[in-house]
Every structure is written in C-alpha cells, then in structure tokens.
Structure 1
Amino acid sequence: MRDFLSFLEKKGQLKRIHEPVSPDLELTAISDRVLSMGGPALLFENVIGSSIPVVTNVLGTIDRVAWSMGLEKVEELEAIGEKLALLQQPKPPRDAKETFELGGLLWNLIKARPDYDLTPACHQTILNNEAVDLDQLPLTRPWPNDAGSVITFGLVITKDPETKVPNVGIYRLQKQSCNTMTVHWLSVRGGAGHLRKAAALGQKLEVAIAIGVHPLIIMAAATPIPIQLSEWLFAGLYSGKGVRLTRCKTLDLEIPSSAEIVLEGTITPGEEMSDGPFGDHMGFYGGIESSPLIRFHCITKRKNPIFHTTFSGKPPKEEAMLAIALNRIYTPILRRQVPEIVDFFLPMEALSYKLAIISIDKAYPGQAKRASMAFWSALPQFTYTKFIVVVDSSINVRDPRQVVWAISSMVDPQRDLLIIENTPFDSLDFASEKIGLGGRMAIDATTKIGAEINHQWGEQLQHSKEIQKRVDSRWKELGLSDITSNNPDATLFGYVMDYFISRKEITNS
C-alpha cells in the first residue's frame, strides 16, 4: 500500500492533512465531500485518540482503480476478464493460436503463485493477549446513527476446515470491546460457509484481519468469480506476479506480508452479539442482526503503521468505483456463459448491481426473457439484481439516452415485462415487502419479431452511411470541430457518463 500511496502522491493524487481530525463522524464527512468532488486520496496524519494515521479515498476515482492494477485505463480490465473466463470454462485449443494463448495463460498462472517472506514487515511489532487493545486503533464511525466504530477495508481471511482452501473477503466489522468485534457477512459468503463447517466439526474458526494492503489485493478479494482458485492467485493474475505472503504468528493462516496491521483471533460457533445498525450502500441504515463474534488474542503491525478505511452510502463511493472496474472484468466471463449477450452495464446510480442493462443479438422471439433468466443465474453476485433491461445490440448500454429511448419506444408493459415473485433477495433492500424475499423484473426493450407481434413494425430513422461519411469529411470545413456531444444535463447517469464521454466511448447511434 505504501508504494501505491507514494505513486499517488507523485501524481498529485494524495493530500496530506496535518490538522487534528476526529475519527468519529468528522473524518468520514471530510472524505465523503472530497470523494464526491472527484478529489484526491486523503492521508490524515493527526487523528484524535490514536497515534496511527488514516488514509481514505485511495480508490475514489476510476483512474485510481485502474492504476492500482498497473493499468492506464479501466477498459484494459477486459483482458483480465478474458483470462478469468478461460480459466472458468477452459476449452481444448482448436489451432496454433489458441494453443499459444492457453500456454500463455498457464505461464501466467505459474507466475501468479504466491511467494513467501520469512521476515515480513507486518511482524515488526507483536502484541499478545492482554496487550491487545482495539482502542489504540483509529477505528472510524462514519454515520450519526451507526452503532459503533468499524473496520471496513480489512481483508477477512479464513480457511475451509476440511479442504484447507483459504477465503479472502471484505466484510464490515463492528467493535464490541477492546478485544472483540462482530463480523457482518452474508450466509452465501465464503467465510460464513467456513464457520458452518467448523461448527459441524466442533471446532473454532481461525480468522485473520489484514488492514492496509495493496489495493490490487482488495480488488481480488472483491471479485466473486466461481472458480476454484484462491484470491491470492487472482491478485497474482491481476498484477502479473505472485503476492508475497507470510504465516500468522498464532494461526494456521497466511496473510500479505506487507500489511500494515493484522488482527488474529477465533470465532466460537454460536457465539454472537448484536451488530448494527450501520449506514449501508443502499443509502439507508441497515437493521440490527446477531453476528459472529471474533475474539482477538494477537495484533501484529509495522512500525508506524497506516490505517486504511472506507465508508458505504449512496454513490459515488469507493465501492461504486470498484464495481465499475469489476463490470469490465465480468463482461468476457458473462459472454462466455451467455453467448448471446453482446455487452452489459451496471449503472453506479443503481448501486452497481440493482439494475443491469444488457444487449443481445436477437434472433428469435422470447430471446430477451431467456437472456434475462440466464443473466440472473450466470454469477452469484447477479442473484441480487432487481431489474434487467434487455436492448438490441445496436443500443449502447452505457448511453442512458439510447436506453431510455429503447424502453419508451419498444416496450408494451402488458407484453414485455417478466416479473418473478418471492425470490431470495438482499436483506438490505428495504423496498421488499418481506426482508430477504422479493421480486425481480426483466424489461424486454428489444425490437419485436415473429410471434411477438401481429402487425408491421415501423422502420427506424437513420441517416445513410454515405451521408454520414460526407458530413464527417466536411465537419472541420464547416467550422464545427469544436462542438462535442458532452451534455451531462441530458443524461441520467451523469457522473459515470462524464467519465465515459471523456474516454470517447459514448457516440450517437
């Protein structure tokens, strides 16, 4: 993480704040305002109540997310998605080119294997048992009605008690005492599954929390791709070299050796405490739930560590920037699983997963509904997608002007809506009549063909290719070269649109 912070500072993308700032509400309020303005990462060097500085907004722009992965542009992430898609559904090579590509991928896997440090920086200071005191850490409380202070960007590391395969996730942790925290994870997550297995075996579950790691590892932990590879290998594939790991001091778990702070503890199955409420990504406070209690007995850290944190809420937030990047990675994987899908987009303003816009090469009646059903089951994270809009491949899914036109001109609500009732759902979605159980809807905004219609469909207006080329060739001659289509007031997703327009991805149809 320190290398990346130095990189950001050289680019003018890190601001040091020397004045004293409270970790209770104030630090988040400052960070939130700067993030909403597209500002730099913030390093608070004088945090009241702790000697440890706090860094926020590290991944607060799409550019910084791309830079964290060694890329210049987020569009380059699709190449990583192609690799992961091939790993998920490998096919025998058909020719020399595919053989070469498969060989290159296998070599990338070899290079991505973790390395190990015998003298890791994260073990420069070791505190055991009674010396463990979470009050010494600059834990933040982001929102006024939050139940307590939290860790938000810690890697929560567990291991399957049977297979010994590790899981690395990012879950919110709430401080309960000077040496305990509750962990808030959904039942479908890897850590929750490990706890269920430990309970069946009558064992405690070992848990390590690594705080202050390179953002690339955070990206890997946030990538829920259903293939049997560890997040450490994902991170290695992302970076082109293996993550350097070391073993915990008191647990049979591996952690990034360059982590700033590591908490080591155990969960006794069935030992829980009330967790919440907390401000969440939906823009509301979540409920109060009983969550597993972690008892920490060891803290290791660097000398003069830095505490990395973030916060949830209505976008734009860091989690939304991560989601935009992950959207690029998912695209090749989704195309491999559902070949008829040409492109898809998860708008940030729709919380980056509640609404999906997908385009298809339509070939037969009812295909939009089929594509919607396939999308919902393609990847675990799409289970909680509430709305799907299916459009023709001629529609740019990232241009809301085109998408809204397709909905308005192609949809008859009594024919083109598919509503599925009472499906497992996001417990944080208060719009559902029953918490954890809700409906979902697909909208067929494609051109209707065959049995879908019983009358002639109108022909779409469009300029001929010849006249468009003629206008292109005369654009400068006519003195119009300084006119662009950048009009954010005419868009629904202005923040994201500004970014993509600046990348010249948005063009008129």
Structure 2
Amino acid sequence: MSFSSLRPFLEVLRKDKDLAIIEAPVDPYLEIAEIHRRVIQEEGPALLFTNVKGSPFPVATNMFGTSRRVDLAFGPRPEQLMNRLVGAIDKLLPPTFSALWQEKDMLLDLLKIGLRKTSRDTAPVLGVSRTERPLAGLPALTSWQDDGGPFITLPLVYTEQPGQPKRHNLGMYRMQIFDDSTTGMHIQIHRGGGFHYSEAEKRNEPLPVTVFLGGPPALIASAIAPAPENLPELLLASLIMGGKLPMVDDPLGGHRIPAEAEFAISGRMLPFERRPEGPFGDHYGYYSLQHDFPVFHVDHVWHRKDAIYPATVVGKPRQEDYYLGEFLQRLLSPAFPLVMPGVRSLWTYADTGFHALSAAVVRESYSREAMGTAFSILGQGQLTLTKVLMLTDQPVDLEQFRQLLTTVLERFDPKRDLYVFDNTSHDTLDYTGPRLNHGSKAVLLGIGDPIRKLPAEYTGAEIPGVDRLKPFCPGCLVVQGASYARDPQLADKLSVHLAETGCEWPLVVLADDADMADGESSFLWTTFTRFNPAQDIYAVSEAGRHHIGYGLPLVIDARMKPGYPDELFPREDIVQLVDKRWKEYGIRTR
C-alpha cells in the first residue's frame, strides 16, 4: 500500500484501532511528550491530540512507533524493487534486448519514479498563507524539562546546492523556535544541508530553505535515510511511494513544495549568522548541549486548511526513530555491495544512536582484504561518522549483536586486529570526544577460524576494585566498580591486573551498573554512548614503529565521565500529572 499523505495513513490506523484520538486538553510543554513515551514503551498506538493548548492544530505523534506501522506505511514493494534492481545489474550491464525484455516489469516500475508538477488548485498545502508572525500558534513540543525551548522535531528541511539547483537535499535537522519568525537550524556540518550552507557562505549568499511538515510518509523516511550523497531524496521518496511525487510551485516564490504536505515553511539562512541553540534531549539518550548554530528566518508559511502537525519525541532508545531506521537499513542494504564490493551485509545499531557502532560481514579473499573494506566503509557518506566498526567474514545475522560480538571475539587478536584512529570526525551529538565534532574511531576484525574458546561464566578469583560482575555474552564480561569521579584510573588498573593474572575474558566493559549486561539494548546504549576509543580502551600494549600491539584483555571504560551531558529523565511533577490524568486520555495499550 502506498500513501499519498499522512491523512489516508492515519485513517487506516484508525480503522485498525491502532490510532488513539485524545480529545482531552493537553499541553505541548512536556505533557504530550510524557504521554508519547509511555505509549511507545508499551508498543501502543499512534496518537492524535485534537485539543492542544495554545494552538488550533491537532498534533500527531508515534505514527511509526512499531514495526507493524512502519511496514504498513511503506509496504513490501520498495524492498522488493530494490532487491530486484540490484539482482538485475549484472544482466543489464551492458544492456541487451533480451535482458531488458526479461526485466520489463521492473523497468516499467522505475519509469513511474520521479516528480510530477501539479496545479495550485489541486495542492492542499496551499490552503492558507501566513506572512505575519508565520510561526504563531504552531504546537511545537518541549519534550524534556531542560530543553532550550520548543522544537520542531519532524522537519523535512529542503535545500539546493548554490549554483546547481538540481542537486538538492532533504534532511531532518531539529529546529528550536526562538520567536514567531525565527528558529535555530541544527544543520550539522557532515550532512547534505550543511554542505549547501557552507557553499552559500563561501559565496556570501543567503541559503534559501523550505521546511516541509507531513506529506507522504515516504518523505519522512527519505529525509533520514543514510543514502549516498548524490542520490536525490525526493527521488528516493518517489521510489518508496511507487509513483511520482506531486509538487507545486510556491506562489510567493522559492522552492517547489510537495502538494500533499501539511505545512511548508519558507525562508532563508543568512551567511555567518549564528545563535546559541539547545540544550535538547536527543536520541542518544542525553541532552545535547547549547552551541552556536545557523538561524532560519521565516518569510512565509503555507498550510492546509485543516492542517495536522506531525511530531516525534526522541530520547533514550528505543524510540520512534528505531523502527524507521530498521526499515531504511533493510531497504538500502542490498545496494551496499554495489558501492563497496567487499561488503556482504552492513548494519548500524539504533540502540547506540546509529553512528556509535556499525558492523559488516565482509569478504576476505586475500590476507587483510577486510581492512581495506573497513576504510571503504568509513569513507561512505554518513558512515564516515562511525565510531566503532566491527567486521567479520562469517555469515552472522548482524541484527543479533551478541552473536556478532561472540563471533568476533573468537577470532580477534588485538595485536593485529585492533586499529584505533585518533583526531577524527565525530557525530555532533556524541560528547565522548575531546570537543564538539571531534573524536576517534576503532576498527575490530574477527576474520578466519576461531583462535580461542570463549568463557561463558566467570569462575575466577575476586577482582580488586570490582563490586559486581555479569557476563554479557561468551567472551565479554561487564564489571562494576567505583565511579569515574572516585577512581578515574580504575580501568587502567584493571587492564594491568587482569593481564598479569591471565584473565581468559578477551573483552571487559567497566560500567557504573553491571545490570546493563542483562539486555542487548541496554548494553549497546550504555557501552557505546559512553566511551571514546582513543581515550577509553585500556590494554597492556607494545608500541611498534607504526602500530600499537594491544594485549588481552581489552578493558573499555564505559562509565559516565566529567563533561558528559546529563541522561534524560522526565520531570517528576509531569510524571505525576500524566499518572493522574491517564484515564482522561482514553488510550489503550496492550
């Protein structure tokens, strides 16, 4: 099934009793977000709030908060078409008449992809124009009590490369509302929109920007997809939809607008203008702190006469972005071997914030081929922000992280299979590095035949400085000791002691709470959002001329450290308010 806008999608959810319509008055300041978090934790329904304090617009959230709703929103066709297209590449290059005829159905499907111009009279988004105080009454959410203000959390930010308007980008960059005509624009330097803004600054020109809210669900998916830099996101949206995307010219000037969008916010970012933006409770599960970011000046807003405001709430995994990320990885993964021939499959882990951990099954047809493939992966688009990359040549299901880690540790010799690169780029939201956008990377290889039998239960002596311990998987032990503030050298002391006593566990993770070993999601989140490889991997090592030879065990210090932002927790009085009002909302979860 393909949906032309959010309207038919929400209607199908309503008929399926997978949409809760909340008519009770609710506050966009903290209350809606707390309701949303409880529902998504229970894998509950999508939410439509029809009585939002201070706004004439209803708010829709949690539209993609389960695998079922994501599958419903996009259907199996995009994945089937992508798999068929990749499988047909060898037949079609070079093209022959017989090969083209055999794939005629697929080629006809591809001819349906693209943009279609529509008239103003048939474009619902042009129902109402607002030029005076254009953002007034927009029900932007404040999700966490220490956020810098209300944020637009599901914006589809459209820009074009200066001088080359056919090269566009559709990205999702949060927008803090400063007043009725200006917002912050968290347009990160590593993303397509950031490249366009940088080019505009080199020209000393403003960058025109149009922000779409709503429209076909495929637009939302394409905006967050880790697609190759030169793949137009509007074209990807059309592929996901299975038909041409209707666009309409803006009568007030500027970019084309998706005809079925709920809102279109048009304006510009001036060169070299910055303003403090944040804090913001982000999908890493912590507050991203206040920093200077570009300012978006809004000239006018178009919206439907009965516009619905789409929003999401982010925070500690798993949230709505987890389920969208799953779909996009399944959709795009067949294309990775075309770009990187040594890659068999590749996965990034939503529980770590995506960029903190990636893994791949790779080819090893000659010695150290996997290392070359690692460099290839780290040179691809958003994958350049990967902090930890694990590779194996064994046919494992990468979504099963325990299985992957066990496979790697069975084959891993850190003297030759661990590489740490300092002074590299970091995701803007990852605060484990020494400063914003800077950090380090680690590559771990688990190639060939097993070289050790891994322990599954700890039977050794008491470890000095360790209060509690739990195995996470064969070969990986989680230990709990003093906080970093009390003993910043504990990880170093552990690595020395464990090496001297012949510890048989190749990987030891030092955490503030050993219970994080109980679940795969908690282990991934706690470990990979709290360590920077160059600073927080400890081992007895030997320095060679060009490479450090690490010994075993490796100790990862995944404790909270000074300078890390606070973990996200809801405000207690809001928790009590939602407890008290829960029956008023009329939401049924399983």
- Shared fold by TM > 0.5? yes
Counterparts in 2 of 1:282-297, with a 5 A limit?
282-297=284-299
Partner of 2:322: 320
Rounded Cα–Cα distance in structure 2 between residues aligned with 1:354 and 1:41: 29
Rounded Cα–Cα distance in structure 2 between residues aligned with 1:342 and 1:161: 37
Counterparts in 2 of 1:100-499, with a 5 A limit?
100=101, 106-118=107-119, 119=121, 120-128=123-131, 130=132, 132-165=133-166, 166-226=168-228, 228-377=230-379, 379-448=380-449, 492-493=520-521
**What is the CA distance between 1:202 and its match in structure 2?**
4.1
**What is the CA distance between 1:148 and its match in structure 2?**
0.7
The match for 2:13 among 8, 14, 33 is 8
Aligned CA distance change for structure 1 residues 385 and 228 (closer, same or farther; 3 Å): closer
Q: How many pairs align?
A: 454
Q: Secondary structure at the match of 1:353?
A: strand
Partner of 2:567: none
Rounded Cα–Cα distance in structure 1 between residues aligned with 2:315 and 2:411: 34
Partner of 1:70: 75
**What is the CA distance between 1:394 and its match in structure 2?**
3.2
Rounded Cα–Cα distance in structure 1 between residues aligned with 2:214 and 2:375: 39
Query: What letter matches 1:419 in structure 2?
Result: V
**What is the CA distance between 1:46 and its match in structure 2?**
1.0
Aligned CA distance change for structure 1 residues 227 and 346 (closer, same or farther; 3 Å): closer
Q: Give yes or no for contact 2:153–2:313 (8 Å, CA) kept in 1.
A: yes
The match for 1:29 among 2, 10, 34 is 34
Gapped runs of 5+ residues in structure 2? 1-5, 455-516, 525-590
**What is the CA distance between 1:30 and its match in structure 2?**
0.8
**What is the CA distance between 1:173 and its match in structure 2?**
0.6
**What is the CA distance between 1:407 and its match in structure 2?**
3.2
CA offsets 1:201-252 (integer angstroms, 9 cap, x no match): 4433222111122211111222242264422221111121011111123232
Aligned CA distance change for structure 1 residues 185 and 399 (closer, same or farther; 3 Å): same
Partner of 2:500: none
**What is the CA distance between 1:343 and its match in structure 2?**
2.0
TM-score (norm 2): 0.71
Aligned CA distance change for structure 1 residues 163 and 408 (closer, same or farther; 3 Å): closer
CA offsets 1:100-158 (integer angstroms, 9 cap, x no match): 47765554343112122211111111122x2x342311111111110011111121122
Aligned CA distance change for structure 1 residues 420 and 196 (closer, same or farther; 3 Å): closer
Partner of 2:44: 39
Q: Secondary structure at the match of 2:355?
A: coil
Rounded Cα–Cα distance in structure 2 between residues aligned with 1:214 and 1:8: 15
Q: Give yes or no for contact 2:363–2:369 (8 Å, CA) kept in 1.
A: no
**What is the CA distance between 1:490 and its match in structure 2?**
7.7
Aligned CA distance change for structure 1 residues 135 and 127 (closer, same or farther; 3 Å): closer
TM-score (norm 1): 0.82
Rounded Cα–Cα distance in structure 1 between residues aligned with 2:116 and 2:361: 42
Aligned CA distance change for structure 1 residues 437 and 79 (closer, same or farther; 3 Å): same
Gapped runs of 5+ residues in structure 1? 450-456, 461-488, 497-509
Superposed CA RMSD in Å reads 2.8
Query: What letter matches 1:136 in structure 2?
Result: G
**What is the CA distance between 1:316 and its match in structure 2?**
0.9
Aligned CA distance change for structure 1 residues 311 and 399 (closer, same or farther; 3 Å): same
Aligned CA distance change for structure 1 residues 459 and 170 (closer, same or farther; 3 Å): closer
Q: Give yes or no for contact 1:208–1:265 (8 Å, CA) kept in 2.
A: yes
Q: Give yes or no for contact 1:401–1:491 (8 Å, CA) kept in 2.
A: no
CA offsets 1:178-222 (integer angstroms, 9 cap, x no match): 111111111232222333333344433222111122211111222
Q: Secondary structure at the match of 1:6?
A: helix
Rounded Cα–Cα distance in structure 2 between residues aligned with 1:211 and 1:170: 10
Rounded Cα–Cα distance in structure 2 between residues aligned with 1:390 and 1:321: 24
**What is the CA distance between 1:307 and its match in structure 2?**
0.3
Q: Give yes or no for contact 1:78–1:328 (8 Å, CA) kept in 2.
A: no
Same amino acid, percent of matched pairs: 28
CA offsets 1:304-358 (integer angstroms, 9 cap, x no match): 2110001222211122212111211232121122223222222332223321222
Aligned CA distance change for structure 1 residues 374 and 199 (closer, same or farther; 3 Å): closer
- Tell me whether 396-405 or 236-245 shows the greater mean CA deviation: 396-405
CA offsets 1:58-77 (integer angstroms, 9 cap, x no match): 111122222211338xxx62
